[in-house]
Chain A
Amino acid sequence: MQQFVTVTLNGLTLAALYFVVASGFTLIFGLMRVVNMAHGSLYLLGGYIALEIQTRWFTSDSGLGLSLSGKSDAEYSVFAWLIPLVLATLIIGVIGVVLQQVFLRWNQGQDLRQALITIALSVILADQMLAYFGGISKDIAAPSAWPTSITLPGEVRFGFFRGVVVLSAAVLIGLGLYLIIKRTRFGKIVRAGVDDREMVSALGINVNRVFIGMFFLGALLAGIGGVLGGTMISLAPGQDTAFLLNSLIVVIIGGMGSLGGAAIGALALGLVDAYADVYLVFGDLDLTNYSIIVTFALLVGVLAFRPLGLYGRPA
């Protein structure tokens, strides 16, 4: 039972992280039909920028910085985590806008070409990040004042950052996005734009500005995801690919462009990942090595019945 709770929490927190990253991906697609294959790169870059800010500004490494646990004993205040989070997120948002304005604005509508362009950008970004940040896995330090773990009823111990911070961040972001989409003028335009872009621009709304806003928001979400993921898991080359794949699976399951679909898709992927890693043991037969097949089966199962995903609508 304890194990089950822990595994479920693992799945939920993974799902939370997947949701934060994939929601940006799906919102951009929903409005602009742009499949941003560099979304994973923005995720990883966001994490690295936050790490860079944290180590440059907030680490006063005394001594040799050597310790058995591999972590220096430096103290980090809450601001040493929050300020890098905010700055890195904003920087990634701006990078997203630049990317959209320079590379994607003039070929709006050519979705394949845009996908290829963002693939090219992700190749370049991945290589440059490897050159600058190296191949060793790093992580962002959570504030030292925060407890490392919490104890839930039933003597279940779970990581504080993972269980409390990431989960509540995802819930807040989900709520925030819902309110933005449903309650603001920007959200109204976005919803109208998803259904009929030409009509919206014919009504005299500056679509380009809405696109900029959406790309800012979408990239920003990737950046937040990167900082959360960099603190919760780690930052390493290959994470960009992993999170691009996760976002793809989440939105393929949930349906491209749907926020609710992203939440459902993230939950399904996170929980299936977590359970398959632990519970694929039948007596002596240990199939946990094959857990990726379950993820695949999930994807295939959804696509076989709903080619556009659970909440997908034809373009």
Chain B
Amino acid sequence: MNPTVSTRRIAWPALIAVVALAAIAPLLVSDFFLSAILTKALWLGIAAASLIFLAAYGGMVSLAQVGIYGIAGMAYANLVLADGGAAAAVNPYLALVAALLIATLVGLGFGWIAARSEGIYFLMITLAFSVLVYYFFSQVTGLSGFGGINSVDLPGIVGSPEQDPLPRYLVTLVVAVLVFLGLGVLSRTAFGLGMQGVRDEPARMRALGFDVTLHRTLAFGIAAFVAGIAGVLSVFYNTRITPGSINLAQTIDVLIVAVIGGLYRLEGAWLGALTYALIDNYSREWVPEVGNVLGPARFNTLIGVLFLIIVLASPGGLIGIAEQLSRKVKTPRRAPAPMPAPQTVD
């Protein structure tokens, strides 16, 4: 379950094609699709990418990403002009930087504690972090408002999404591409290779003089920075943030997005997020109502079953399935062995 991901080069042609398609998408689709599907898939993908980055290159499946993005989102919403929370009315750009800084610092702190555990312990500890962040914000109404922080002030570059969702979409797209490229490049630096070494052979890396805990902590901090970006973008997307939007369900949703896409490839994050957003919006129309068990209101059952099927069938997610298929297509079935020439007996 841990295929080697190493210095895979970025597939530029495919990336350029996808980004070009995404850039002209506003001309092709409705405003609703642009916001509810594409924009959402992009920022949700960034959150999932921070998880996949840790899982693929660091061997750490972290459930703390939603907790961290919640901290970034809450920090941003509290710093700018908003309805509820501290409403400090700071310049949105300044608030943005501060929110990312806070998220990264908290992430480094979490990382420092969690980094010394491995595997399943790491999963549990980060889950506990995430849920504690949720409980914190639901208890401390001074920071989360009663019923969340509403009508959050957005930076000028995003404009007012109610009137024109296009700028917000483009901003999210550019950031998503930058995150993808940034993490891709990072994985091929000395640090990225060190991370993969720590993932595969922590004991040997330690013997070689690498500081394993430091590598893990820094990786966690970088992932926290990325998760923070997703958190701020989620506030741009919703123009509000509530404790309920960073609860365990959301934690698991981001995990589901990452697993559906594929835990071992960064691209999987956005593929999973797009799948998730599509199902989220359209399943109500085509899912049949089966008593109380299945139906429009039972979205979570549907997504849970999909998640279960993916985990049971293909640990590599949709990307893994696609790779298996292409491998089957590429390697032709073995040609029948040539018959030995009949021995001629005189």
A residues with CB within 8 A of B:
33, 35, 103, 110-113, 115-117, 119-121, 123-124, 126-128, 131-132, 241, 245, 248-249, 251-252, 256, 289-293, 295-296, 299-300, 303-304, 307-308
Q: A256 CA to B121 CA in the complex, in Å?
A: 9
List 10 A-B pairs, minimum CB-CB distance, nearest first. Answer: A123-B304, A127-B300, A124-B304, A120-B308, A307-B116, A120-B307, A131-B292, A127-B301, A111-B120, A292-B135
Q: Bound state CA distance, A291 and B138, in angstroms?
A: 12
User: Complex: how many Å from CA A113 to CA B317?
Assistant: 12
- By the criterion CB–CB under 8 Å, are B120 and A295 in contact? no
Q: Give the residue of A103, A251, A293, A299 whose beta carbon is less than 8 angstroms from that of B136.
A: A293
Contact of B120 among A33, A117, A123, A241 (CB under 8 A): A33
Chain B contacts for A251, CB-based, 8 A: 124
Q: Residues of A contacting B120 with CB < 8 Å?
A: 33, 35, 111-112, 115
Question: Which B118-133 residues have a C-beta within 8 angstroms of A?
Answer: 119-121, 123-125, 127-128, 131-132
B183 at the interface (CB under 8 A from A): no
Which chain B residue has the least Cβ–Cβ distance from A126?
Answer: B300
B202-227 CB mask vs A (1 if < 8 Å, else 0) is 00000000000000000000000000
> Which residues of B are found within 8 Å of A245, using beta-carbon distances?
127-128, 131, 248
> Considering only CB atoms, which chain B residue lies closest to A304 in the complex?
B113
A-B contact count (CB 8 A): 110
User: Which of B123, B124, B136 is most buried by chain A, counting CB atoms within 10 A of its CB?
Assistant: B124
19 A-B pairs with CB atoms under 8 Å apart are A111-B119, A112-B119, A112-B123, A120-B308, A121-B308, A124-B301, A124-B305, A127-B298, A128-B301, A132-B292, A241-B131, A245-B131, A289-B139, A289-B140, A291-B139, A292-B139, A303-B116, A303-B125, A304-B113
- Given A245-B131, A292-B135, also A128-B293 (CB < 8 A): yes
A112: contacting residue among B1, B298, B299, CB under 8 A: B1
B252 interface residue per 8 A CB criterion:
yes
Taken together as a complex, chains A and B put the C-alpha atoms of A113 and B255 apart, in Å, by 12
Chain B nearest Cβ from A263, distance in angstroms: 19
Give Cα distance in the complex from A241 to B121, angstroms: 18
Chain B interface residue number, banded: 35 or more
Report B306-334 CB contacts with A as 1/0, cut-off 8 Å: 01100110010000000000000000000
Contacts of A110 in B (CB 8 A): 1
For residue B61, CB closer than 8 A to chain A, the reply is yes
Residues on A with C-beta less than 8 A from B298 are 127-128, 131
- Closest CB in chain B relative to A234 CB, distance in Å: 18
Query: A134–B161 Cα gap in the complex (Å)?
Result: 36
**Residue pair A117, B312 in contact (C-beta under 8 Å):** yes
Q: How near does chain A come to B339, taking the closest CB pair, in angstroms? A: 41
Residues of B participating in the A interface, judged by any CB pair closer than 8 Å = 1, 61, 113-114, 116-117, 119-121, 123-125, 127-128, 131-132, 135-136, 139-142, 247-248, 252, 255-256, 259, 292-293, 297-301, 303-305, 307-308, 311-312, 315
With most chain B CB atoms within 10 A of its CB, the pick from A241, A251, A290 is: A241
Pick the residue among A112, A123, A248, A296 that contacts B303 (CB under 8 A). A123
Chain A neighbourhood of B305, CB < 8 A: 120, 124
Q: Check if A131 sits within 8 Å of B311, measured CB to CB.
A: no
Contact B252 A119 (CB under 8 A): yes
Residue of B with least CB distance to A288 = B139
Residues of chain B within 8 A (CB-CB) of A121 are 304, 308
| Besides A111-B120, A127-B298, A127-B304, 15 other A-B contacts (C-beta < 8 A) | A35-B124, A113-B315, A115-B123, A120-B308, A123-B307, A124-B304, A132-B292, A241-B131, A289-B139, A290-B136, A290-B140, A303-B113, A303-B116, A304-B113, A307-B117
Could you tell me the distance between the alpha carbons of A300 and B128 in the complex, rounded to whole angstroms?
11
Q: How far is the CB of B212 from chain A (nearest CB, A)?
A: 12
Find out whether the CB atom of A290 lies under 8 angstroms from the CB atom of B139: yes
Contacting pair A248 B124 (CB below 8 A): yes
Most buried by B among A103, A127, A290: A127
| A249 contacts B128, C-beta separation under 8 Å | yes
The answer for the CA separation of A119 and B301 in the assembled complex, in Å, is 12
Query: Which residues of A sit under 8 angstroms from B141, Cβ to Cβ?
Result: 289
Chain A residues with CB under 8 A of B114: 303
CA distance A304 to B136 in the complex (A): 21
A249 contacts which chain B residues (CB < 8 A)?
128
CB A63 to nearest CB in B, in angstroms, measures 29
Q: Cβ of A116: which chain B residues have Cβ within 8 Å of it?
A: 255, 259, 307, 311
Given A123-B307, A127-B298, A127-B300, are A299 and B128 also a contact pair (CB < 8 Å)?
yes
Cβ contacts under 8 Å, A296 to chain B: 132, 136
Least CB distance from A291 to B in Å reads 7
Instruction: Indicate if the CB atoms of A124 and B121 lie closer than 8 Å.
Output: no
Set of chain B residues within 8 Å of A252, measured between Cβ atoms: 121, 124-125, 128
The chain A residue sitting closest to B129, CB to CB, is A296
User: Taking the nearest CB of chain B, how far is it from the CB of A187, in angstroms?
Assistant: 24
User: Within the complex, what minimum Cβ distance (angstroms) separates A281 from chain B?
Assistant: 15
A249 to B130 CA separation, bound complex (whole angstroms): 12
Q: How far is the CB of B22 from chain A (nearest CB, A)?
A: 29
